[in-house]
Amino acid sequence: MSDLNRAIPRRAVLAGLAATPFLGAGALGQAAWPKAGTIRMVIPFPPAGATDVIGRIVAERLGAVWGNQIVVENKGGAGGNIGTDQAAKAAPDGNTMLVVSVGMATNPYLYKSLPYDPVKDFEPVSLMAMVPNIMVIPPNHPAKSVAEFIAMAKAKPGTMSFGSSGIGTSVHLSGELFQKLTGTKMIHVPYKGTAEAKNDLIAGRLDCIFDNITAALPQARAGTVKALGITTAKRSQLAPELAPINDTVPGFDVSSWFALFVPAKTPPAIVARMNADVKAVLAEAEVASKLGKLGGEIVGSSQQELAAFLKSESEKWGALIKEIGVTAG
């Protein structure tokens, strides 16, 4: 069973969706939201990555529901800290949202100091989706399986490399966990986003990326990159042809996750409205289809469930980060 299933039972999620109270005209009138004008959705990574793609799918439908244009702002850099800090300092009026991934849980352990506090400076809205990663290598790489790749890495310790979308992302930590469990040693090369890393991978300047299935699967099927395995303990229905890395490396089980937060002190009525509408949008057949094609497993959690999940992820990855001694600054 995955960490998500342990932290947020599916029945509880569905029950929470069904039991979400309807906010009447009085409550919404008091909140005076959504106001006319644009609402910002901050994505703390460059365009084309999984966080960006998933955020834009949700933003499109929420904008239609709210009758407001939602402007997606990509603020990449520093492992997501630049954009996250900007969102933390935004006015708590419901006009700024933040879509984040695992960095929200890991960055406190990776950086000596952060300009924001993931818990105190934000209100959780909803855990939207879980997405597996895929281990991809250059199309002309000689390895034909995870086992062959491990053998090559062990034969040349410290010479092979893996890229990531930044220190502390699931793409990075997948590689660190892989090294720990296989006894291999590779050079980690962080980028501002996976799109940049992928360019170097395709060109043969990197040996491996544990990329989000959202971007990697279409490229693997097109032959642009070569996929060796999926990072979840079980096969994905979207990519049944990919065997879990866990089959070769017991204990290897990693998923990316994508959640919505707003600045702390955003009025409770607005946060509750956002939570209800996000869950409703995620339950729509069209949105579910789009996310499903990207490899996303829809969650649609409550605010409380997201807070508990963030805590569990912080504890899980914090332990690994301390053990391997990795830092980002």
Does 3.30.750.24 match the CATH number of domain 132-247? Answer: no
Q: What is this structure's pTM?
A: 0.76
Q: What is the pLDDT of residues 208-223, one digit of tens each?
A: 999 988 788 889 999 9
pLDDT for 101-117, tens place per residue?
Answer: 998 999 999 999 999 99
Kindly report, residue by residue over 24-61, the tens digit of the pLDDT. 433 444 447 887 778 999 999 889 888 999 999 999 99
Q: Where are the beta strands (DSSP E) in 138-230?
A: 161-164, 187-190, 208-212, 226-230
Joined together, the tokens standing for residue 283 give 């339950």
| E runs forming strands in the chain | 39-43, 70-74, 96-100, 122-137, 161-164, 187-190, 208-212, 226-230, 255-263, 297-298
Mean pLDDT of the chain: 88
Separation of alpha carbons 126 and 10, rounded Å: 14
Give the integer Cα–Cα distance in Å for 207 and 136. 8
Percent of the chain with pLDDT over 70: 91
As assigned by CATH, the class of the 3-131+256-324 domain is alpha beta
Task: State how far the Cα of 172 lies from the Cα of 177, in Å rounded to an integer.
Answer: 9
Confidence category of residue 86, pLDDT binned at 50, 70, 90: very high
CATH 3.40.190.150 residue window(s) in the chain? 3-131+256-324
CATH 3.40.190.10 maps onto the chain at: 132-247
Tokens of residue 277, six digits: 């509408």
Is residue 5 scored above 80 in pLDDT?
no
CB neighbour list of residue 14: distance below 8 Å, 6 or more residues apart: none
Q: Give residue 18's pLDDT.
A: 42
Write b or e for each residue in 10-27: b if 16 or more Cβ atoms lie within 10 A of its Cβ, otherwise e.
eeebeebbeebeebeeeb
